[in-house]
Amino acid sequence: YGAEKSTYHSELVKIFHDIQKSCDQRLKEMGFRAESYLLPGGIGIKFKKHPIHNLHELQTLPIIECDLSELENFDLNCLNQEKISSLILPPKTKLPFSELNSFNLRRLRAAKAISSDFGSLSKHPLEILELPDSSAENIRFCENMPLRKLDLSGVQISHIPLLRKAQITNLNLFKTSIEEIDDFNCGSLEEIVLSASPIKSITFLSDAKKLLKVEIRATSVSDLSPLENTLIKELHLPGSLVKSIDCLAYLPIETLNIIGLELEDINCLSTLPLKSLSLSPELLKSDEYEFIANLKIPFLRGPADSPEQTAEEFFQKHINSVAME
C-alpha cells in the first residue's frame, strides 16, 4: 500500500509540474513577463511586467493566485475574477478595496497598504489575510472571516475583536499596540509573534493546546506559566522580563532563545529535548558553562553567531568570554 501511495503521489506531482511547464510556455508565447508556481489546487502567477493581454485567454489553465507585488500599477479587469481566489498586491497600494468586490478571495496580501476602506474586505471569505505595516486602524472587518492566518505586524491596532468564525493557526502581532488579549479562541493556534508589542501577559495562551512556536522578544512578559500545558517546540525570549524558565521543564522544546536573559536557574534545560539553544555566554557562570557543555545540544549560539553553529564551535569561540567565578 505504501509503494502504491508513493507512486500515486509521484504521478500527481508530475502532472502538476507538466501543467506548470505548459503554463510557463503559454505565458512566454503570449508575451507575458511572468513566472508560474505550484499551489494546492492550482497555479500561481507572478507578473514581472504589467500584462497587456486579458488573462481570460489563460482561463483553460488552473490559475488561482496572482502575485502583482512587482508591478507599479495594474488593471484588475485583466484578471479572471471568477477563478482567482488569491491576490498579492503591490506594496503601499492605495487601491480602494471595494474594487476587489467582484472577486471571492480566500487569501490577500497587501503590505503597507494605505487604502481608506479596509471595511470593504469584510465580504470576502478570507482564510489568509496579510496586512503588514498597513494603515488599518482596527480589524472589525475581520469579525466574520474564516481566518487561519492573520499577519498584522506593524499595524497600529490596540484591540483584537471577537473573531467568530476564525480558527487561527498563525498570528503575527509584531510591533502592534496591543496591550492585552482576552476574548480570543486559541484552540487552533500553532504560532504567534508578540514581539515588540506592549503586551504584559500571555495568560490567554493557556488554552492553546496545539501551540508550537512563540516569540515574545522585547516585551514586558515575565510569566511563562501559561505555556506549561502546551506542546511548544520553539520559544524566543530575548528582551523580555523573564527571570525564570522552571515552568518549562519537560516540555518538548527543541529551539530556545534566551539571549540577554539573566535567569535565576537554568537546570530545567536538562529536561528539554533541545536541538538549538541561543544564549549570552558572558552571562554564564563557570558551573553553568560546564552544565551546558554536558547537555550535548547540537546547535549552540551567542548573539552574533550563525544559527547553524555547532556546540563545538560555540565553545571554541566563546570559552574566553565566560565569566569564571
Q: Is residue 32 part of a domain?
A: yes
Q: What average pLDDT does the segment 13-29 reach? A: 80
Consecutive H or E run containing 39: strand 34-39
Q: Is residue 70 part of a domain?
A: yes
Phi then psi dihedrals of residue 44, to 5 deg:
-110, 155
Lowest-confidence pick of 14-18, 66-70, 232-236, 255-259: 14-18
Residue 71 or 118, more confident: 118
**What does the DSSP assignment read for 145-193?**
---SEEE-TT---------TT---SEEE-TT-------S---TT--EEE
Please tell me the distance from the alpha carbon of residue 123 to that of residue 128, in angstroms, as a whole number: 14
Q: What average pLDDT does the segment 162-179 reach? A: 97
Q: What average pLDDT does the segment 97-106 reach? A: 96
Question: Quick one: three-class SS letters along 254-311?
Answer: CEEECCCCCCCCCHHHHHCCCCEEECCHHHCCHHHHHHHHHCCCCEEECCCCCCCCEH
Q: Is residue 260 part of a domain?
A: no
pLDDT at 325: 40
Percent of the chain's residues with pLDDT above 70: 93
Cα–Cα distances (Å) from 252 to 78, 196, 265, 272, in that order, read 49, 25, 19, 6
Task: Answer whether residue 245 shows pLDDT above 80.
Answer: yes
Lowest-confidence pick of 49-63, 162-176, 237-251: 49-63
Residue 52 or 188, more confident: 188
When the pLDDT of each residue in the chain is averaged and rounded to a whole number, the result is 91
pLDDT at 38: 87
SS3 content of the chain, % helix, strand, coil (to 5): 25, 15, 60
DSSP state, residue 4: H
Cell reading at 192: 504567534
Please tell me the distance from the alpha carbon of residue 76 to that of residue 43, in angstroms, as a whole number: 18
Q: What average pLDDT does the segment 194-211 reach? A: 97
Q: Is residue 59 part of a domain?
A: yes
Comparing CA positions, the residue from 43, 7, 39, 3 lying closest to residue 23 is 43
Please tell me the distance from the alpha carbon of residue 191 to that of residue 208, in angstroms, as a whole number: 10
Using 50, 70 and 90 to split pLDDT, how confident is the model at 320? low
Q: Is residue 130 part of a domain?
A: no
Count structural domains, the chain.
1
Task: Answer whether residue 251 shows pLDDT above 80.
Answer: yes
Task: Answer whether residue 253 shows pLDDT above 70.
Answer: yes
Please tell me the distance from the alpha carbon of residue 32 to that of residue 12, in angstroms, as a whole number: 27
Please state, as a whole number, how many other Cβ atoms lie within 10 Å of the Cβ of residue 75: 11
Most confident of 26-35, 42-51, 174-183: 174-183
Residue 31 or 181, more confident: 181
pLDDT at 264: 92
Q: pTM for the full model?
A: 0.90
Q: Is residue 127 part of a domain?
A: no
Domain that holds residue 67: 1-84
Q: Is residue 226 part of a domain?
A: no
Using 50, 70 and 90 to split pLDDT, how confident is the model at 114? very high
45: exposed, middle or buried (Cβ count in 10 Å: 0-12, 13-18, 19+): buried
For 72-101, how does the pLDDT look when each residue is reduced to its tens digit (9 = 90+)?
878 888 788 888 999 999 999 999 999 999
